Amino acid sequence: MKLFSLIFCLWSVAACRPPEAPETLDELASFLFAHTWDDDESYLQPGIENLMVWLDANFDQTSEGYEVTNITPEAVESVAGEDRALEGLIGAAVGYDIAYPLADVVDVMLFEDPMEVYPGDYEFYEREFLTDTECFKERTCMHLENQIHLAANYPLGIVGESHTQMQNHWVETEAGMAYVHRNWTRWEPDISVDWLIIRQQYYMAVTLPKKDGTTRRLAAMWLDAEILNAGIPDAMALSMTIDTMASTGDKVAAYLAQSE
């Protein structure tokens, strides 16, 4: 009887132990993408808190762009849609601060008109919310899903038209409320030049509260792109990805500044 009780106690401790989250950015990026839409936050919360620790020690490395390893099969399996291959994906992450409160930053990025927030970045941007926006704004519901149809302007006069699925999640952490979201292309984007192919894209970003009341963000993107005989380095697609992500913070800050 005592042996049975001891075994049961040991089993109970193991079963109730909080899930372990990775501690490096390479692993965290895929981990957070995979768990963004979870109802159970026992994975997402420690993952976000580990990201905060990693950023405190390594933030300067991310400001110029940080190459990350390929997204994991488990992360890709967590999204719906057509069959998805992982071969050929390149990944990058960028960190930046925005000198405004997190709630203001999220409101601008999620609900304001992107044509005004990011002037010149899009030919058009159409957004359809699939779940209740008001409860998400009030934080009485933690999840929000939407679809986006846009045409983005890239360097060299390239225009890329895409349809994406986006999922958003408020998460309570020891530092306060954080916001995490992910999106992915529902099918292959339409690119305006025949020498560039973009087959798939996955994106994840975490928006974090700072102690001074401002906001820190880490964004990661994985892209399956190919440049065909154009005399342009293959690294251009990665560079374009990094530049696009890095410019977001400045444009959101500028929009908030002119709204004051």
What's the CATH number where 191 sits? 3.30.530.20
**Looking at the domain assignment, is residue 4 inside a domain?**
no
Give alpha helix (H) positions in 17-89.
Answer: 25-35, 44-62, 73-77
Q: Is the pTM of this model over 0.85?
A: yes
Structure tokens at 184: 């992915």
Label residue 4 by pLDDT band (50, 70, 90). Answer: very low
pLDDT score for 84: 74
**What is the average pLDDT value for the chain, to the nearest integer?**
87
Query: Whole domain around residue 100: which residue ranges?
Result: 25-259
pLDDT score for 224: 87
Dihedral (CA of 252, 255, 259, 260) sign: positive
Does the pLDDT at position 101 exceed 80?
A: yes
**Looking at the domain assignment, is residue 66 inside a domain?**
yes
pLDDT score for 81: 63
To the nearest 10 degrees (0 to 180), the angle between helices 236-259 and 102-111 is 110
To the nearest 10 degrees (0 to 180), the angle between helices 25-35 and 44-62 is 140
**Looking at the domain assignment, is residue 5 inside a domain?**
no
Tokens 């008109």 sit at which residue? Answer: 113
Query: What is the total count of domains within the chain?
Result: 1
Label residue 236 by pLDDT band (50, 70, 90). Answer: low
Does the pLDDT at position 10 exceed 70?
A: no
**Looking at the domain assignment, is residue 61 inside a domain?**
yes
Over residues 86-114, mean pLDDT: 93
Structure tokens at 197: 């192919």
Tokens 């990011």 sit at which residue? Answer: 118
Does the pLDDT at position 12 exceed 80?
A: no
Tokens 């026992």 sit at which residue? Answer: 42
pLDDT per residue as tens digits for the range 163-206: 999 999 999 998 999 999 999 999 999 999 998 888 899 999 99
